[in-house]
Structure 1
């Protein structure tokens, strides 16, 4: 009986280990050199047969095959025939805030009330999420954990996708406030007509007035040296007026992009970012003149109107970049599909954009927009070693196969629940192939 109980205990232990996410990676203990790969720096440069060395989480050397490597003290990884990239950065992400789309109790991305700038998303970020390993497997290693809902949703933070808790994972705390600008019109699905219809927002004036009043109160409060008592909501808004926080404005239509930006400027907001911008090409001159970056919606979507060019979503990123607008990209569909960010960016390379510029959108440009380009976004000496190594083109869903990933030099275990399930049923049914 004792033998049977021991055997059962071991079996249960093995099952529990099998079912859980990999533990967070240990800190880098010795220098690592990736040798022989094609290095995509992230700023448009490519180094053939390159070498990149990093120690204590920081890149110490990068160059071609002539770069010196101390093989006695360095772990050398041969990546010949593979491609080396900066870790992909996902803005406006729900990773860590939503776990199961059909289970309401796993949603933690929104709060009640119209104005919630004091809500900090990083505290809700779940580092044990089973979604996190699945996005790392496609090279997405950093994300902006972002609140949703209401007019002012809350405050986002930028997280590394590895860590025991949010304190371990946070890369930049409280980087910006999120505003869902009231729409003049809205596209809604009509069950009666079985199609999307355009409807006027009858509450637009009321919502805009409420927003103006709140911004006016926030600006007045920020000008008080020692407010007493303190107001938590207005305290959270202070960073918009001293430049320590960005205002991320979710809006799509050309007229609303201009209106929302001018409203923010009227109340002395220092740094504005447009998120969505599906009609940003109608506000090109305004965006360029005012130096306002855009994080565009992904390419894989339908046009907004029946008379719009069907390929417009694919062409938009190239139009913005050619006009001189700092352009990044995020993924808007189901939270778990954030892993597809490299592929929707890569598609833009077939519509007027160079492939390295498509990569730049989701690495360097996203880093610049989020204010972390001094840390990540490109593979340069002095920056953090947040790196993905793919067997093929990381922007192509057919060849993206990430074999190594490092976050601040930590070697990430790329196992995940989906890979385990795949192996389980391949083994069960004796299926061969990749």
Structure 2
């Protein structure tokens, strides 16, 4: 037996098992106080030389340097010269559903078929993903695990980026159903012309009628007190009509935004969120009047048409917020690039938006839109201690260097595969920094 165990140990070392992700953090065992840092509350307020205290995963005190707490019973961490932020929240994320972009067998974000509201993304969420720690290192501590594909993709859930399994990580289960609204026009790459071309969607009416028929069936089904037999797809739609779930509509163009929202309203869907909204400024009055929030596409993209101001994507979030539309932001590109969410939000601050409003987009506003603002999104007494401490401005890729992160008060190990590879080759070649 000893011989076999020794052989197994050698094999484990050879294949690098001991270089896996850090284990999920242990629950907070004693009060912790972060003292001396600049606290960005997340609602626009800033506390210089501040103190934040949390115990059992919940914030118990926050204020300036005079904030009192039991120093003998508390682990005191000096964060002088650093900035303290609420954990950043990433809506519409694929983290935990995709592991390696070039390996199809690691994709678990979509199902076959056009109507799958009963597909629950959270049960496919992989807490052992090697990508998640790389995102936490930039302060992104919460994400909305979101399905893709088809017309109705499935149901999302809000996850904390720490836990042994999806049950541990779930912050809010089954928060909303995702709809890819049929496009009036499609922007496709033409190999013959070597450029993107805009074409009319000839199947738009057919797809729209099919969608409306499905939602009409779901509404009728929801009004049956005790359906027998039960229909799993229509059961999953019930929450849209009683307000317990949100309908997230992926759509970008002005006319499509209005048509999609009006269709949802016609079927008595209570909570609607537009996701993408690249031309949301063309539907500004409609969105404001109907109190419909927008999770806007990131700033680092080209405008949709050649005659648009090239800076329009950078200006759009500020336009929406100034008009009174509740505006959040997500990251649309490769799943692993979700770590760049703070930077694409920060860029909007260079185009008229106040920097604290840019932070608000990816903390408090995202929390409000996802329905988790009573728990996270700002640093307030009674909320969960989900906190990121950065050496500098967390919205600036030059100074975003997260030195501490806490999820529900649990101190997160910020090691990840990329840092280990960096250290490996710095040690080998004797170059670079620490």
The two structures have a TM-score, normalised by structure 2, of 0.98
- In structure 1, what is the Cα distance between the partners aligned to 2:349 and 2:124? 36
Report the Cα distance in structure 1 between the residues aligned to 2:14 and 2:374, rounded to whole angstroms: 43
In structure 1, distance between residues paired with 2:409 and 2:281: 39
Deviation at 1:397, TM superposition (A): 0.2
Shift in alpha-carbon separation, 1:267–1:429, aligned structure 2, 3 A: same
CA distance in 1, matches of 2:54, 2:420: 31
Q: CA deviation at 1:366?
A: 0.1
Cross-structure match for 1:289: 289
1:184 matched residue in structure 2 = 184
Describe the SS at the equivalent of 1:366.
helix
Find the counterpart in structure 2 of residue 335 from structure 1.
335
Listed as ranges, the matches of 1:14-413 within 5 Å are 16-413=16-413
Relative to structure 1, the CA distance from residue 16 to residue 224 in structure 2 (aligned partners, 3 Å threshold; closer, same or farther) is same
Distance 1:17 1:184 in 2: 50
Paired residues of 2:257 and 2:283 also in contact (CA < 8 A): yes
- 1: distance between equivalents of 2:154 and 2:211? 14
Q: Secondary structure at the match of 2:305?
A: coil
- Are the structure 2 counterparts of residues 65 and 14 from structure 1 closer, same or farther at C-alpha, using a change threshold of 3 Å? farther
Gaps of 5+ in 1: none
Return the offset for 1:191. Answer: 1.0
Quote the offset at 1:49 in angstroms. 0.2
How many Å apart are 1:6 and its aligned residue?
Answer: 5.1
Shift of 1:325: 0.1
Matches of 2:47 and 2:7, distance apart in 1: 53
- 1:78-129 Cα offsets, whole Å, 9 max, x none, are 0000000000000000000000000000000000111000000000000000
Name the CA distance, whole Å, in 2 between partners of 1:88 and 1:405.
11
Distance 2:164 2:422 in 1: 26
* Displacement of 1:16: 3.2
Q: Which runs of 4+ in 1 moved over 3 A?
A: 5-18
The structural deviation recorded for 1:9 is 3.4
Deviation of residue 399 (structure 1)?
Answer: 0.3
Deviations 1:27-80 (A, max 9, x none): 000000000000000000000000000000000000000001311110000000
SS at match of 2:134: helix
Supply the distance in 2 between the matched residues of 1:172 and 1:199 (Cα, whole angstroms): 39
- For 1:128 and 1:386, the matched residues in 2 are separated by 20
Do 2:12 and 2:18's aligned partners in 1 also have CA atoms closer than 8 Å?
A: no
d(CA) in 1 for partners of 2:313, 2:432:
38
Shift of 1:350: 0.3
Matching residue of 1:422: 422
CA distance in 1, matches of 2:186, 2:333: 18
CA distance in 2, matches of 1:77, 1:405: 12
What per-residue deviation string (whole Å, max 9, x for no partner) do you get for residues 320-349 of structure 1?
Answer: 000000000000000000000000000000
- DSSP-derived class of the 2:177 partner: strand
SS in 2 for 1:49: strand
Sort the Cα spacing of 1:150 and 1:7 in 2 relative to 1 into closer, same or farther, 3 A.
closer
Does the CA-based 8 Å contact 2:298-2:345 persist in structure 1?
A: yes
Tell me how far apart the structure 2 counterparts of residues 364 and 178 of structure 1 sit (CA, whole Å): 22
SS of 2:16's partner is: helix
Q: Which runs of 5+ in 2 are unaligned?
A: none
Q: TM-score, normalised by structure 1?
A: 0.98
How far, CA to CA, are the matches of 2:18 and 2:418 in structure 1? 12
Q: How far apart, in 2, do the equivalents of 1:416 and 1:25 lie?
A: 14
**Distance in 1 (alpha carbons) for counterparts of 2:242 and 2:270:** 7
**Partner-residue secondary structure (3-state), 1:158:** strand
**Superimposed CA distance per residue, residues 301-328 of structure 1 (whole angstroms, 9 cap, x where no aligned partner):** 0010000100000000000000000000
